[in-house]
Structure 1
Amino acid sequence: MDQLRAVLTPEGLRRLDELGPLATTDHTARAVSRLRTEGLDPDTVTALVSQAHLRARGAAKFGDLAAGMLFTRAGLEQSTRPVVAARHAARFRDAGIGRVADLGCGIGGDSLGFAGLGMSVLAVDADEVTAAVAAYNLAPFGDAVEVRHARAEDVDLGGVDAVWLDPARRVAGHDAQARVAASEYTPSLEWVFPLAARTSAGIKLGPAFDRAEIPADAEAQWISVDGSTVELVLFTGTLARDGVRRAALVIRGERVHEITAAGDAPDVDARPMGAYLHEPEGAVIRARLIGDVARALEAGTIDPHIAYLTSDAALTSPFVQSFRVRDELPVATKPLAKALRARGIGRLEIKKRGVDVDPAALRRALALRGDESATLFVTRIGDRRVALLADRVDD
């Protein structure tokens, strides 16, 4: 809080804007030296430089908006991307929601989406510093947004039409793909789920959340952005779509596609390797809708336990990345390197599934040379490890 106070003054904000984003070590070192030369105390310098560094990192998620925002390190890592927050907000708006309680608002990423679409927002966070950062980020919306430092469980929800919940993980160190049990969230999902059962709610969780703990009457939507599976959202009440219990939302650049179903899709059979290999989006895999995508591609799996599809038809889909298979190559490093050099491949994208392979270490060991490019899949079919050389198919 002392660091935040050092920034939240007219002079502190002026200096922060003058610094601009600090993206490199050299830029940071020069900024520290300049600020110390100008007579600023070490704590103020640390506060300003930390925020400038976070603004540089925040640009990857918030774009140009980051230059006018404040961040906490954890808040930036956990915040919802604006392109995703906008879609959440649109669902609330389309359901006729006028006032939203954002419980666990973090630095305000989702509240920015709600307020940006004209909704009134009550934004709440249990951490004092995070709540103060959210208040700064949401200040442009004036009286349309109220920010409180409070526990979600203690908030009076009178006058609220729906709630958005982003429970924090109690256990530090989990990445986005790690499985986190219901008991490891704050507020506890033992409180969150009953609240969602009696009102309209959206609940943001990690994409690896245990499917067995998903309430039966909730719509579960997994979301992938530019190849990364970023979150699972459970919708209840008027926010849940009729007949939809499983959904995979895939966002790549400006393109947005979604596949929905009343439940898990029936699996397809494994089949011999065909002319094409398809890598389903992570959201499709998590939602267990691979079967529906495979049938649209006239494809089967390469192995019952491996989430790669193969087909002979020259079909692709927004829910997969498609590749034309060139060859099956040796798996062992030395003969594999020899085969790649013979093909003049110097740029190699390496993907793996079902095998213990470090793509970065393998690339170094291959010592590639050449002007050609390709993709190498290292995976397993039955009890056999395979290396498949392929080329991307534009969709």
Structure 2
Amino acid sequence: MPYAFTLDDVAFLRSGAGSAALAECSSLPLTDKTRIADVAAVRRIAPEHAAAVLETVVLRRKSSSKLDSAASWLFTGDALQQASATAVARHRASRLAGRDVHDVTCSVGADLIEIARVASRALGSDLDEVRLAMARHNCLEAGVSPVLMRADALRPVSRSAVVVADPARRDSAGRRAWKPADFLPPLDGLVEAYAGRELSVKCAPGLDFSIAPWADEVELVSLDGQVREACLWRGVGSAVSRRATVLRSDGAQWTVTDADPDEIPVREHGEWIVDPDGAVVRAGLVRHYAARHGLWQLDERIAYLTGDVPPPGIRAFRVFEYGPYSEKNLRVLLKKHDIGRLEILVRGLDVDPDALRRKLKPRGGEEATLVLTRIGRSGVAFLCRAQLT
């Protein structure tokens, strides 16, 4: 169970003594082997708040892979887990630049900080007093000053600002919630509470978006190839109903929407196989992406694309052997090309890549990617070289 911080913990962590304790404990190894010694050291340094100090050091280390410039922030475990990666939060905030924005579930302020950097005015509210106290600290550390207040997300305290919300999607037992009524606060309750207001609600990317008929636009966002979240937009000036936004840690990004052309052929494979970014697939924009880059489909029901020139800046798969899928044929191909390291990608077939690799037992000095898919009713195998384009 994650540690339950108190207001006294937060006050101590923000004090001079707390800052000194955190600085002294930040160099502890915190490994399984050093656990007993580390806990003893923290208890010696901050006896009354040892658990809070230890948890904060651990959470700050975890935050480094997700949040920028958060080394001095305060978190709860659940708040850090739910916070958007900085690049994702920054992108969402950019769509609200110059507006008045109210984050009605601001938590410890990770998303609110990015909003406050670009909004005309920013307001953050939450029912949890501990998280609000952490948000005040984090905003100060980040150099922004949104208005913060304690308020129930279902009881509006602002009148005209764009409403931003990030409902919790896990129950008290830590299980993921999929029904709108099980969100905290409930998704339908949020929509009703802010009837007529512009709205931006962060959701899990696997959500069935048919449960949100009120949303004008569904945006799927990925970062470095991993789909991070979906955002449901209402009344924020969008002219599209579906959008995929692909972000990279180096600052590169691009977007495809359902307003883009989607007329593409279905025919035999070209020189390359392309597996579209997960945000494109989940947003249902595979054909739109293909049309933009001169690609086509192998089968209209399968998300794999193909073409003679792959899009720039992606990992694509150059075909050097192909044929009907069978384990016997694959063993012959792997032996022929001396393949020992084999990546297996599958769409449209009931194949477990790990189980198949164990059956094939590749033993060679070369590496390849095996792309397995279905064309019509037949399984097809493409043996490829993966390349960054």
Q: TM-score, normalised by structure 1?
A: 0.83
SS at match of 2:131: helix
- Give the match for residue 151 of structure 1: 152
Q: Is the 8 A contact 1:23 1:57 kept in 2?
A: no
Q: Please show how residues 204-215 of structure 1 align to structure 2 within 5 Å.
A: 204-215=202-213
Give 1:153's aligned amino acid. L
SS at match of 1:52: helix
- Give the match for residue 51 of structure 1: 56
Q: Is the 8 A contact 2:108 2:134 kept in 1?
A: yes
CA distance in 2: counterparts of 1:169 and 1:296, whole angstroms? 35
- Give the match for residue 91 of structure 1: 95
Bigger helix share? 1
Give 2:161's aligned amino acid. D
- Give the match for residue 323 of structure 1: 317
Q: Is the 8 A contact 1:374 1:391 kept in 2?
A: yes
Question: Residues 332 and 187 (structure 1 numbering): CA distance in 2 closer, same or farther, change over 3 Å?
Answer: same
2:246 paired with 1:260: no
CA distance in 2: counterparts of 1:56 and 1:367, whole angstroms? 39
Question: Residues 46 and 386 (structure 1 numbering): CA distance in 2 closer, same or farther, change over 3 Å?
Answer: farther
CA distance in 2: counterparts of 1:165 and 1:91, whole angstroms? 15
- Give the match for residue 161 of structure 1: 161
Q: Please show how residues 15-34 of structure 1 align to structure 2 within 5 Å.
A: 15-20=21-26, 24-26=31-33, 28-34=35-41
SS at match of 1:271: coil
Give 2:165's aligned amino acid. L
Q: Is the 8 A contact 2:156 2:194 kept in 1?
A: no
SS at match of 1:350: strand
1:4 to 9, 21, 24: 9
Q: Is the 8 A contact 1:115 1:141 kept in 2?
A: no
2:237 to 236, 240, 250: 240
- Give the match for residue 202 of structure 1: 200
CA distance in 2: counterparts of 1:252 and 1:28, whole angstroms? 36
Q: CA deviation at 1:141?
A: 6.0
Give 1:240's aligned amino acid. G
Question: Residues 27 and 210 (structure 1 numbering): CA distance in 2 closer, same or farther, change over 3 Å?
Answer: same
Q: CA deviation at 1:327?
A: 2.1
Q: CA deviation at 1:174?
A: 5.4
Runs of 5+ consecutive residues of structure 1 not aligned to the other structure: none
Q: CA deviation at 1:109?
A: 1.4
SS at match of 2:64: helix
Alignment coverage as a number of residue pairs: 380
Please, which moves more after superposition, 143-152 or 19-28?
19-28
Q: Please show how residues 42-191 of structure 1 align to structure 2 within 5 Å.
A: 44-63=49-68, 65-93=69-97, 96-97=98-99, 99-117=100-118, 119-140=120-141, 144-158=145-159, 160-171=160-171, 173=174, 180-191=178-189
Question: Residues 253 and 326 (structure 1 numbering): CA distance in 2 closer, same or farther, change over 3 Å?
Answer: farther
- Give the match for residue 394 of structure 1: 388
2:271 to 272, 275, 285: 275
Question: Residues 112 and 371 (structure 1 numbering): CA distance in 2 closer, same or farther, change over 3 Å?
Answer: farther
CA distance in 2: counterparts of 1:202 and 1:355, whole angstroms? 37
SS at match of 1:25: coil
- Report the identity percentage: 32
Q: Is the 8 A contact 2:21 2:46 kept in 1?
A: no
Question: Residues 213 and 118 (structure 1 numbering): CA distance in 2 closer, same or farther, change over 3 Å?
Answer: closer
Give 1:189's aligned amino acid. L
Give 2:311's aligned amino acid. T
SS at match of 2:178: coil
Q: CA deviation at 1:314?
A: 1.9
CA distance in 2: counterparts of 1:16 and 1:145, whole angstroms? 26
Question: Residues 106 and 333 (structure 1 numbering): CA distance in 2 closer, same or farther, change over 3 Å?
Answer: farther
Give 1:220's aligned amino acid. V
Give 2:344's aligned amino acid. I
SS at match of 1:306: coil
2:309 to 307, 314, 319: 314
CA distance in 1: counterparts of 2:54 and 2:326, whole angstroms? 48
Please, which moves more after superposition, 353-362 or 106-115?
353-362
Q: What's the Cα RMSD here?
A: 3.2
Q: CA deviation at 1:332?
A: 6.4
Q: Is the 8 A contact 2:153 2:190 kept in 1?
A: no
